[in-house]
Amino acid sequence: MELRKSYFADVRKDGLNEIGQPRPRLDSPGHVTGKTAYFADRNFPGMLHLKMVRSPHHHARIRSIDTSEAEKHPGVVRVLTAKDVPHNVYTILILIQIGPEDETVLADGKVRWKGEAVVAVLAETERAAQEAAAKVKVDYEVLPAVFDMEEALKPGAPIVNEYHGQNYYLYDSGECRKVRFGDVEAGFAQADHILEQSYQSSPIEHAPTETTGCVVAPEGNDRFTCYTNTQAMFFTLDNASIILQMPGSKLHFVGGTVGGGFGGKVDVIVEPIAILAAKLTGRPVCFIYSREEEMQVSSPRAAEKVVIKDGVMKDGRIVARKVTGYTDAGAYSRHSPYGAQKGAAHYPGPYTIPNVWIDTYCVYTNRTPSSAMRGFGVTIGDFALEVQMDKLARLIGMDPLEFHFINAYRDGDMKAHRQPTEGAALIECMQEASRAANWPVAEKYMAISSYGKGE
């Protein structure tokens, strides 16, 4: 890695004692000696193992659940169903007033995705829990499922999630988050070329080497200590408090040392049910996702679809950009309404475009609920935007890198969401990339700066 200190030297104070110094990491000695304590390194005598019985169907009504055989299985201590969960219908962003509550801790009457948690089995050993889980009988009536976002948005599509009542998240702005800037149709009318293209992505798993999980120990005083690898301690504690209808003062979370997250550990999934299990049995409980659960049950990055329509001039100026973004939330909201909205703020990318129209939708389908991942709301949008930029450049016969310079935002430029640009540095990144990659551009582009067009 090279630090190019020549850029922005005038606005940066170097020569500090600790900042900017490559100090060794204080946690690394623990890592290389195997001494770093992750949540699963806590082991308590008498700890129970929680295994989840999951829906084999994408969408189904639960006619009945029979746990009697499982309860009799040797080593089984307790079997939990929806009725055991004090506040079974929740949504994690309710803490920042983004509702409605739309997800069940344990399925109640219906499952909306393949892999949904239905019954929790607690046993003395993992093996006993697995054997008992295989004995839980759930009678399902399979319902029509919808996987495709455009299908889900059509009239008459099966309703995925009754708590919403329609297959999209209803923002205060309506069925999508909107950004309107300038007059996009006038921009298209003025453009030399119009290019409309569609991009899509598949769900992506975070795949941290440490799977999601927690170990809960009763403290003996009505408090419960939850050793967890959550990415957000109080966020998880406060949601657990709501779900369990238990004062937060009864909960003690210990964590902060996590074997990789990448956004995959911000859902509040394992902790509430494990704390409930510890409370109902009086025993320590561990609930750790298997690798298979981590891969196929934990929330992935959402599948997205992005449609971009651009109006571009022969001289390289983009004069109008219309973006329609669809985020596949799967069956439940989790963080997706937030992510779709973040996309609306991110488009039209780091470019100054006078006429912009953005709609971003958060759509419900019977796919695995998606949630945050590294680059949430932006990564797939950047893929779409930057492939589109390449196509536009080629459409007008211009070098793709030079085309970027023409449109790059600079300090003072008004963004589509009506914030003036501050602290831009896109141009300098591209100038340095031009040098590093030996991809020459016209001298005039090497002479400009993010400090603004006036300079």
Partner 1 sequence: MAKVPVQFTLNGSEKAEFVESGTTLLHALRDKIGDTSPKGGCHQGTCGACSVIIDGELRLSCLTLAETCNGADIKTTAGLAEGGMLHPLQRAFLDAFATQCGFCTPGMIMAAKVLLDRMPNPSREDVVEALSGNVCRCTGYEPIIQAVLTAARANSQNAA
Partner 2 sequence: MAIRRGRGVAAINYPTGMNLGGDPTQALVHSTPTGNFMVTLSSVDLGQGMKQIMAQICAETIGVPTDRVVVDTADTDTGPHCMGTFASRGTHRAGNAVIQAAREARQVMLEVAAEELEVNASDLETDGQGNILVKGAPQKSMSIFDVALSAHFKRGRSISGRGMFLIPRSYPEKETGAMKPSTCYAHACTVAEVEVDDETGEVTVLTVKNVFEIGRALNPKMVEQQLVGGSWMGISHALYETTEPYYPNRDHGGTDFNQYLMPGLGDLAETEIIVLERPSADGPFGAKGPGEMCANPQIPAIANAVFDAVGVRIDALPITPERILRALKAQAAG
Partner 3 sequence: MSLALQTFSTVKDANSALQASGTRYLGGGTLVVRAANEGDVSVSSLVRVTEPSLSQITISGGKARIGASVTMAAIARHPELGMIAPAARAVGGPAIRNMATVGGNLFAPAPYGDFAVALLALDASVATEDGEMPIETFLAGRDTGRAVVTAVGFSLPKAETFRFLKVSRVKPKGVSVLSIAALLQRTADGAVTAARIALGCMADRPIRAKAAEKALLGCKLTPEEIAPALAVAGEGITPVTDPIASAWYRAEVLPVHLGRLLLG
Q: Which of residues 79-138 bind partner 3 (CB under 8 A)?
A: 125, 127-128, 130-131, 133-134
Q: Are 218 and 212 in contact (CB under 8 A)?
A: no
Judged by beta carbon, residue 190 or residue 257, the one nearer partner 2 is: 257
CA–CA–CA angle 246, 250, 254 (5° rounding): 120
| CA 317 – CA 311 distance, rounded (Å) | 9
- Regarding 202 and contact with partner 2 (CB under 8 A), the answer is yes
Q: What are phi and psi of 307, to 5 degrees?
A: -110, 125
| Least distance to partner 1, CB of residue 205, Å | 10
CA dist 164 and 170 (Å) reads 8
Among 130, 190, 201, 324, binds partner 2 (CB under 8 A): 201
Q: How far apart are CA 134 and CA 433, in angstroms?
A: 56
Q: Does 51 bind partner 3 (CB under 8 A)?
A: yes
Contacts with partner 2, 323-362, as mask; x by CB under 8 A: ---------------x--xx-xxx--xx-------x----
Instruction: Say whether 420 sits in a helix, a strand or coil.
Output: strand
Taking the complex as a whole, how short is the minimal distance between the CB of residue 293 and partner 3, in angstroms?
A: 10
CA distance 33 to 31: 6
First-to-final CA distance of the chain: 30
Kindly state whether residue 290 participates in binding partner 3, applying the rule CB under 8 A.
Answer: yes
Classify residue 328 by its DSSP letter: E
Rounded CA separation 277/271 (Å): 10
CB of 137 to partner 2, least distance (A): 24
Cα separation of 281 and 122, whole Å? Answer: 9
Amino acid at residue number 140: Y
Residue 32 interacts with, from partner 3, partner 2, partner 1, none (CB under 5-8 Å by kind):
partner 1
**CB distance 402 to 441 below 8 Å:** yes
| Count of chain residues binding partner 1 (CB under 8 A) | 33
Binding to partner 1 in span 113-132, by CB under 8 A = 125, 127
The residue among 226 and 288 lying less far from partner 1, judged by its C-beta, is 288
CB nearer partner 3, residue 76 or residue 153: 76
Check residue 43 for interaction with partner 1 (CB under 8 A). Answer: yes
38 binds, among partner 3, partner 1, partner 2, none (CB under 5 to 8 A by kind): partner 1
Based on CB atoms, which residue is closest to partner 3, 51 or 58?
51
Torsions phi, psi for 377 (to 5 deg): 80, -5
* Residues within the interface to partner 3 (CB under 8 A): 51, 74, 125, 127-128, 130-131, 133-134, 290, 292
